[in-house]
Amino acid sequence: MALAAVLAILTLLPYAYAHLASPPGRVFMGFFFLGDDANTYLAKMREGWDGQWLWTNRYTTESSPPVYFFVYWLALGKLAAILHLPLLGMFHLARVAGAFLLLYAAWVFIEHFIEEPRARRFAIVFLAFGLGLGWVLQLAGKPVLFGAQTDTLDWRMPELSAFYSVLALPHFAWAAAFQALGAVLTLKAAERGSLKLGLLGGLAWLGEASIHPQMPILVGAAVVVALVYRRVSLRGYAAAGLALALVAPYIAYSYFAFLGNPEVTRWSSQWRNNLAPDLVSLGMALLPQLLLAAFAVPTMLRRRSRGDVFLLAWLLLLAAILWLPNPAGNLRRRFFDGVYLPLVVMAAQGLYGTILPRLRGPIRRLLPFSYAAFAVIGSAFLLFGPLLVAASPQYSIPAGDYQALLWLDTQPSGVVVSSSRLGLMIPAYTSDTVYVGQYSETYNWADKSRQVDALLHGQGDIAAFARQEGARYVVWSAADTSEEPPASLGTPAFRAPGVYVFRT
């Protein structure tokens, strides 16, 4: 818990600094990492705040039937409404709470698979602060290697490390925590024949499924492999079956809603970066963990305990999902959640079970600390990098635009025509639906962005276009155009420095 407190405080510093360092006339919007996605999560929280349990896509005007997706975010929005907290405050509170939940769950996971106390301590520190070597590729200019463009995956994919999960988006930390608890509780339930532990494991899997319903399929399958290879009692199988059966209905619902609903399928087809990554980039992103974990594999293959089988099955099944033909399609990358959990356990076993027993003298005492410190370099870049760019305009908006968002929140909801830039934030701060806003959740986002940009630059009648689309409001911001608003829009219903909001 002390380590979690350090992690929580460190990852809060860039946001607090950016809030205090906002340039005059601009407002920091609360995000450094994956801001496109983060605003959509605020929008989902807003739906929960508005009393919804079913998610409706407010980033597009096309038909989008409500579905039981993003339950985690809807629940956070409801909690924010109950506690009378601003949604952005709730977002960061969940992020901080995620540090504590994740490190608690990770410690439970580590204790289950590692017996050596020193190895446990190394594993939890390595997990909390370690990152990959993507920064090496960044310094090298992300070269093309073996015919593939390399990338700094550990700086772009929070699910690859606990540190980035806590720093960027809370649901990654919560998801990894739930799957760590679900795996350990299900394995213990099977070993002890405890239906009570099976029930608790099932609740943990439901928590995971409320965020990423695909992950219980992968990790649950690894549990099944471990229990089939190293058998338990019939009561143990019943307890494990109870844990996995509790989450099965929601997984089935998610599958049919995802693949059987044309609107949802069309929305998900616009996701970016969901195919399998190239091996060089992935290897560099996980290299510190992989190097040590490789030393554990021979022992694990000889011993083949239930825990060994589970950890290896997790990684092998993940590899099969990533690179073999399968129905996952463009969901492949979304199976990386918490991959650092098995890797860190194996890394600690490799270091303390294979490497250190062969060493003598000071190097034996210094190697764990030195190795963990080296793995922190990437995390330091992520932590201190935002401090250098906190005043950059890409992380803030003009104060007038922010005032327009607050005004829209007080008005009857409807469809809003605005730039894609503002459209990204409008559903996060109001109950409105936007014509264009986010690259994946807005159908035909690129075409619509160009269309609205042309209208904002006087190429067409934006007032007539808004009426045609059934819009209630048009937002005209100086940050999006050098033109004055056309007379066809009439008298603005709201104005602030650099921005006008018109009713159509």
Q: Does the pLDDT of residue 446 top 60, yes or no?
A: yes
* CB burial of residue 468 (10 Å; 0-12, 13-18, 19+): exposed
Let me know whether 359 and 418 are in one domain: no
Let me know whether 250 and 189 are in one domain: yes
Let me know whether 172 and 222 are in one domain: yes
Kindly state the average pLDDT of the residues 467-483.
Answer: 96
Let me know whether 451 and 363 are in one domain: no
Q: What is the pLDDT of residues 134-157, one digit of tens each?
A: 999 999 999 999 888 999 999 999
Q: Does the pLDDT of residue 265 top 90, yes or no?
A: no
In angstroms, what CA-CA distances link 79 with 8, 55, 269?
A: 21, 16, 31
The region of weakest confidence among 58-67, 132-141, 336-345, 457-466 is 58-67
Paired sense of beta strands 473-477 and 499-503, if any: antiparallel
Let me know whether 249 and 159 are in one domain: yes
Let me know whether 429 and 470 are in one domain: yes
Let me know whether 425 and 484 are in one domain: yes
Angle at 312 between CA 288 and CA 226, to 5 degrees: 150
Boundary (domain end) residue, out of 325, 344, 379: 379
The most distant pair of C-alpha atoms in the chain lies apart, rounded to whole Å, by 82
- Confidence at 357, pLDDT banded by 50, 70, 90: very high
- Confidence at 275, pLDDT banded by 50, 70, 90: low
Q: Does the pLDDT of residue 454 top 60, yes or no?
A: yes
Kindly state the average pLDDT of the residues 427-435.
Answer: 97
Q: What is the pLDDT of residues 229-264, one digit of tens each?
A: 999 999 999 999 999 999 999 999 998 887 766 666
Paired sense of beta strands 415-417 and 433-434, if any: parallel
Boundary (domain end) residue, out of 317, 350, 379: 379
184: containing domain: 95-379
In a domain, 191, yes or no: yes
pLDDT for residue 440: 87
In a domain, 56, yes or no: no
Q: Does the pLDDT of residue 352 top 60, yes or no?
A: yes
Structure-model confidence comparison of residues 478 and 261, the more confident one: 478
CB 438 within 8 A of CB 384: no
Distance CA(27)–CA(398), nearest Å, equals 6
- Confidence at 62, pLDDT banded by 50, 70, 90: confident
- Confidence at 379, pLDDT banded by 50, 70, 90: very high
Distance CA(503)–CA(489), nearest Å, equals 8
pLDDT for residue 393: 87
pLDDT for residue 391: 84
Let me know whether 167 and 227 are in one domain: yes
In a domain, 439, yes or no: yes
Structure-block tokens of residue 111: 């204790």
CB 239 within 8 A of CB 300: no
Kindly state the average pLDDT of the residues 79-104.
Answer: 97
Structure-block tokens of residue 43: 């929008």
Q: What is the pLDDT of residues 318-329, one digit of tens each?
A: 999 988 877 766
In a domain, 455, yes or no: yes
The region of weakest confidence among 132-136, 277-281, 434-438 is 277-281
Distance CA(5)–CA(191), nearest Å, equals 33
pLDDT for residue 234: 97
Instruction: Give the percent of the chain with pLDDT over 70.
Output: 96
pLDDT for residue 358: 94
Length of the chain: 504
Let me know whether 152 and 218 are in one domain: yes
Question: How many domains is the chain built from?
Answer: 2
Distance CA(399)–CA(402), nearest Å, equals 5
- Confidence at 272, pLDDT banded by 50, 70, 90: low
In a domain, 178, yes or no: yes
Boundary (domain end) residue, out of 379, 411, 444: 379
Let me know whether 311 and 439 are in one domain: no
* CB burial of residue 323 (10 Å; 0-12, 13-18, 19+): exposed
pLDDT for residue 26: 95
pLDDT for residue 230: 96
Q: Does the pLDDT of residue 186 top 90, yes or no?
A: yes
In a domain, 42, yes or no: no
In a domain, 392, yes or no: no
Let me know whether 424 and 325 are in one domain: no
Structure-model confidence comparison of residues 309 and 67, the more confident one: 309
pTM of the model: 0.94
Q: Does the pLDDT of residue 270 top 80, yes or no?
A: no
* CB burial of residue 425 (10 Å; 0-12, 13-18, 19+): buried
pLDDT for residue 418: 97
- Could you give phi then psi for residue 433, rounded to 5 degrees? -110, 140
Let me know whether 349 and 440 are in one domain: no
In a domain, 354, yes or no: yes
Distance CA(429)–CA(432), nearest Å, equals 9
In angstroms, what CA-CA distances link 176 with 62, 334, 451?
A: 34, 12, 40
